[in-house]
Amino acid sequence: MYELKVVGDPTSPKTLYFGYPNCFTVWDPTPFTPPLSTGDRWTSSPNSTFNDTTCNTKSVHARLSFMAHSAPLDIKFYYPQICSNSSGANEWGSFPCSWNGSAIVSFHGSWNRDPPTGYKVVYVPWDPNSNQPVAPDNCTTGYENLLYTQKVEAGDNNCPNGCTRYIYSMFSLMRRPVGLAFDTQGRLYISSDATGEIFRVRYTNSSTGPSSTSSATLNSLSAIILAFILVLISTALD
């Protein structure tokens, strides 16, 4: 289980216990007896003095959880110099102004999970006033897919090494997202270490805001493939 915690100012002393390495966050509560809920804490090695109750009462709970083996490798918060307003996408295809302060996370994907998970980039709506995710901590739908794999299958010739990545069924190119970066025009760049490619994502829709991202907005985020092989970029820079 991967956890998203809000720890505050990194320069100030921290005396809180966040659970590592003994406590974990529940994503799927069905295997647990006695019953637990999504967002609850548990330990894999309970004993007479340390158990699930200890984790739930002593440790700071995750503010949002991600499915185990998703392998989140990067997170970027969107604070644009230029952005698209409610009237539609601007000439650069900047992400919406209403996404200001929200998080983008890359999921590199699992290597030994059946069925696989990850292999995508997600958008986490963020409340700028509380500096917290919008979704409650017991939610498994607190983020939405920006770029994702339409079909992921495990097997000898499939994930992680041989599976084909799809971006809205348009391209079978994207493999395993790693790094994220925004340019000064508010467009998103994503690196894929499995294929040595960089993708640029630009916004094209007139609908903006976290409340409208589930269909219209997300389905209108078009990926413009730069198709720059990293080795070629390195060669050109030398």
φ, ψ of residue 103 to 5 degrees: the values are: -105, 145
Cα distances (Å, whole numbers) of residue 179 to 22, 57, 70, 76, 98: 29, 35, 15, 9, 23
**Per residue in 124-159, pLDDT tens?**
999 988 889 999 999 998 999 888 766 655 454 456
Here the tokens at position 159 are: 């994930």
| CB-based contact 41:61 (threshold 8 Å) | yes
Q: Does the N-terminal peptide bond of residue 133 adopt cis geometry, omega within 30 degrees of 0?
A: no
String of DSSP letters for the chain:
-EEE-----TTS-------TTTEEE-S--TT-SS---TT-EEESS--SS-SHHHHHHHSPPPSEEE-TT--EEEEEE---SS-B-TT---TT-PPBGGGTT-EEEEE---SS-SS----EEEEE-EETTTTEESS-TT-S-SSEEEE--S---BSTTSBTTTPPP-BTTTBS----EEEEEE-TTS-EEEEETTTTEEEEEE---S--SGGGIIIIIHHT-EEEE----HHHHHHHH-
Here the tokens at position 6 are: 């809000």
CA 68 to CA 154: how far, in whole Å? 16
| CB-based contact 193:88 (threshold 8 Å) | no
Q: Where do the domains of the chain lie?
A: 1-62, 69-237
This prediction has a pTM of 0.75
From first to last of its 238 residues, the chain has per-residue pLDDT tens of 556 666 667 677 778 888 888 999 999 999 888 899 999 999 999 999 999 999 999 999 999 999 988 999 999 999 988 888 877 788 888 888 889 999 999 998 887 787 788 888 999 999 988 889 999 999 998 999 888 766 655 454 456 655 544 333 333 334 688 999 999 888 999 998 877 888 888 888 744 444 333 332 333 333 333 333 333 333 333 4
**Residues 192-201, buried b or exposed e (16+ Cβ, 10 A)?**
bebbebbbbb
